Amino acid sequence: MTSPTSPVLAADGVDVARSGKKLLDHVSVVVRPGEHWALLGPNGAGKSTLLSLLSAEQHPTRGTVEVLGRRLGRTDVRELRRHIGHVNPRHDLRSALSGRDIVLTGATGSIEPPPRWRPSPEQAARADALMETMGVGALRDDTWPTLSQGERGRLLIARALMPAPRLLLLDEPASGLDVAAREQLITGIDELRREHPELATVLVTHHLEELPASTTHALLLRAGQVVASGEAEETLATKPVTACFDHPIAIERRGGRWSARTDDASA
C-alpha cells in the first residue's frame, strides 16, 4: 500500500456534482498516520459526501482522491475497502449474533459470519483484546437485540479494527446516545488511539461536545466548501466555527474537550 510516513488520505481540489447540484466544491485535505480529524458542519454541508469519497464508496466529479496510496479511478475499490475501517451506526444486522461474533465479522468483512467459517486463535484473541479496549469485554455473550445503542457503537468500532486498518472512519458514532453512553464511547475512542498510535481516524459529527480530547485536526465544511482546516486548536475556535454554522458561537476547551454556546456578545 504505502510507507508508514505517507499520507493515509489525500483529496486535492475535489468537486462532486449530482443532478446539476455541486455537493463539494474544491475540497482538499491530507490526513497522515496518527492524526485524528474531526469533520464538522451543518446539515447539508457535504460531510457525508466527503466521507463517501474517503471510504472509496464513490468517485469525485473533478479532482483526485488517494486512499492508502491508491488513487480512486485507478484501483479496485472493493479490495481497497478491506483496508479501511468504517463504522456506520446503521449497521444492517438482522440476526441475534453475540457481541463477540459481531466483532469477529470484521475479520471476514461480512454482516453475518460466512457458513462454516471459524476464527483462528489469533483472530479470536484480537477480538477479545479489542473488546476490552472499547470497554465491552463483558458483552461477549450478549446478543445484538439486547444491546443499547452505545454498546452497539463500541462493538462496531472493535469490529472495524479487526483487520488492523491504518484508517478508521467514524460516521456520527455518538448519534442518539445519552450523556453516559456518549462519554463511555469517547473514552473508548481515546483509549484505542493511545493503543494504536499509527492509526489515522476521521470522525464526522455535528457537535463539538462529541469530540474526544485526542482529536488533533479538524475540517469545517459549509455548503460543500472548506471554511477552515488544520490543527484542532486553531480550527475549532470561535471565529471559524461561527463562520461555519453562520451563527455566533463561543467555543471553550477544558480538560482537552470542547464545548459550544451562543456568543451573547455577538448575537
Mean of the pLDDT values across residues 131-146? 91
Q: Which domain holds residue 3?
A: 1-83+169-180+197-267
Q: Which three cell numbers stand for residue 243?
A: 463562520
CB 183 within 8 A of CB 189: no
Mean of the pLDDT values across residues 155-179? 90
Question: Within a domain: residue 51?
Answer: yes
The predicted-structure confidence for 16-51, as pLDDT tens digits, reads as follows: 999 889 999 999 999 999 999 999 999 999 999 999
Question: Within a domain: residue 156?
Answer: no
Q: Which CATH number is 176's domain given?
A: 3.40.50.300
Domain count across the chain:
1
Question: Within a domain: residue 248?
Answer: yes
Cβ burial of 38 (10 Å; 0-12, 13-18, 19+) is buried
Question: Within a domain: residue 35?
Answer: yes
3-state SS string over 74-143? CCCHHHHHCCEEEECCCCCCCCCCEHHHHHHHHHHCCCCCCCCCCCCHHHHHHHHHHHHHCCCHHHCCCE
Question: Within a domain: residue 98?
Answer: no
The predicted-structure confidence for 186-236, as pLDDT tens digits, reads as follows: 998 998 899 889 999 999 998 999 999 999 999 999 999 999 999 999 999
Question: Within a domain: residue 135?
Answer: no
Cβ burial of 160 (10 Å; 0-12, 13-18, 19+) is buried
CA–CA gap between residue 130 and residue 159 (Å, rounded): 8
Torsion angle, alpha carbons of 177, 179, 181, 182, to 10? 70
Sheet holding 84-87, edge to edge: 84-87, 167-171, 200-205, 36-40, 217-222, 225-231
CA–CA gap between residue 260 and residue 241 (Å, rounded): 9
Question: Within a domain: residue 185?
Answer: no
